[in-house]
Amino acid sequence: MLGKTLSELESSSNLFINYMYSFGFLLFYIVYRILNNMILTKTMYFYS
């Protein structure tokens, strides 16, 4: 009984960690894209 709940808790925490990793990656990707666009527009303004 206790082992079952412990394994369930462990799997749910692993799922939570996986969610956090994918969310962090998504956030990083969005920030990267925004920074990339900002740099691109700045260089465009700079060159034009």
The one-digit pLDDT tens for each residue of the chain (48 residues) are 566 777 887 888 888 888 899 999 999 999 999 999 998 888 777 776
Q: What backbone phi and psi angles, to 5 degrees, belong to 39?
A: -65, -40
The pLDDT value recorded for residue 2 is 64
Percent helix / strand / coil, the chain, rounded to 5: 95, 0, 5
